Amino acid sequence: MAKGTVVKNAFHSFEDPYTGRTVTRLTTPEHIQHHPYFYYKMITSDNRYLIYASGRDGLRNLYKMDLESGSAVQLTEGTGVHDFSCSLTSDDRCLIYCRDRQIIRMDMATLTEEPFYESPAGWVPNANPGLSSDDRYLVLVEMNERDVVPSRGDWSTFEPQWAAKPHCRIVYVDIERQTSHVVHEEPHCWLGHPQLRPGDPATILFCHEGPWNRIDARLWLVRSDGSNLRCAKPQTHEELITHEYWLADGSRFAFVYRSQEGGPHESIRFMDPVTLQEEVWMECSKYCHFISNHDNTRIVGDGQLKEEHFIYLVDVEKRSEEKLCSHGTSWGSYGNTQDAHPHPAFSPDGSFVVFTSDMAGKPCIYRVML
């Protein structure tokens, strides 16, 4: 299918059997379809359009869906599109996305494209770059290609990739000037999930990637000039940390902490990036991913265990959690390890949540009004 092609999505609404909430399936299970990674901007500021990925023609490409009519425009065509790694700019005028070794800025009005960064020969880009809140800067991780363990589209290569102790580096890109520099380099460590602090694009949050009980510590910070590298939270092999993100005002970053010592328990925590002061906010269910709305009054998370197959909604002020609906996903892989992960995310005004699930047979996108 060609770029600019218009397709029609048929919405289907049903009552969640556990909570009675109305859930609307936005896409059909004939094709693998999902929204971008949960901390990217995927919905326009007027709450009208959703960026999503679809395998309609056997290739993963990006589309923009009208959330009122279901009509969608195909934005990309061909091979090599990283279907989870795209973000609208803050003004919705452009889409930043990845194709092969390039990072591209697309004008959403004309669909014209401008590559502004390409990983040099010998380096493979990580699929999750971070965009600054002013749309000026971007940060990504690159891995030396000789250390890459070829993916089989499932989790079988996750631990081998960690065990390979790959040579990785963090690259900082000035999109306006189209310049870049290496911020930090580690010859024997898998780095991932670089994110720029909102309002302070010189502060980078990143992680040591790998099996939770094998890595030294997950949470790390560094300045864009390479200074002030520090571990944000040392941890033992009995502790699990996932899945960090910045609050929209940049005041703190959030993460879920799980400890096996004395019986498993899980809690939402916030950390000041300057003082590294940690605040244990509340106990929660076992989320795989979670994210705050714009003013951090609510948090949404996806239950990871078989008995916790729910999208959970947290009232931050009241420190209380409720079940929003069942996500019912298998967490299975369909060529990408993330395909059936719920990855719940709020609309810009916080009036609804979108998530992905394969409860209908293949990964589809769902919406729940709040």
Name the average pLDDT for the chain: 96
Measured from the Cβ of residue 276, the count of other Cβ atoms closer than 10 Å reads 13
Residue 23: the pLDDT is 98
Residue 264: the pLDDT is 64
Instruction: Answer positive or negative: Cα dihedral of 230, 233, 238, 242.
Output: negative
Residue 107: the pLDDT is 98
Residue 273 predicted with pLDDT over 70: yes
Mean pLDDT across 270-279: 98
Q: What are phi and psi of 64, to 5 degrees?
A: -120, 115
Residue 294: the pLDDT is 97
Mean pLDDT across 79-90: 97
Residue 161: the pLDDT is 97
Mean pLDDT across 325-339: 96
Residue 327 predicted with pLDDT over 80: yes
Q: Nearest Cα to 13, choosing from 366, 322, 312?
A: 366
Residue 249: the pLDDT is 98
Residue 259 token pair: 């400890």
Q: What are phi and psi of 84, to 5 degrees?
A: -100, -10
Q: How confident is the model at residue 35 (pLDDT cuts 50, 70, 90)?
A: very high
Q: Nearest Cα to 289, choosing from 301, 305, 306?
A: 301
Q: Cβ neighbours of residue 136 under 8 Å, at least 6 residues apart?
A: 174, 175, 176, 201
Distance linking the first and last C-alpha atoms of the chain? 35
Residue 305 predicted with pLDDT over 90: no
Residue 263 predicted with pLDDT over 90: no
Residue 15 predicted with pLDDT over 80: yes
Residue 1: the pLDDT is 82
Mean pLDDT across 33-49: 98
Give residue 58's region: left, alpha or beta (phi > 0; psi -120 to 50).
left
Residue 177 token pair: 């000037």
Rounded to an integer, what is the distance from CA 28 to the centroid of its chain? 22
Residue 32 token pair: 């693998």
Q: Is 59 exposed, middle or buried (0-12, 13-18, 19+ CB in 10 A)?
A: middle
pLDDT (tens digit per residue) in 43-69: 999 999 999 999 998 899 999 999 999
Residue 237: the pLDDT is 87
Q: Let me know: does 101 contact 81? Beta carbons within 8 Å.
A: no
Residue 127: the pLDDT is 73
Q: Nearest Cα to 179, choosing from 252, 132, 117, 226?
A: 117
Q: Nearest Cα to 306, choosing from 340, 331, 282?
A: 331
Residue 271: the pLDDT is 98
Residue 93 predicted with pLDDT over 80: yes
Q: How confident is the model at residue 97 (pLDDT cuts 50, 70, 90)?
A: very high
Q: How confident is the model at residue 149 (pLDDT cuts 50, 70, 90)?
A: very high
Residue 92: the pLDDT is 98
Q: What percent of the chain has pLDDT over 90?
A: 94
Mean pLDDT across 244-265: 89
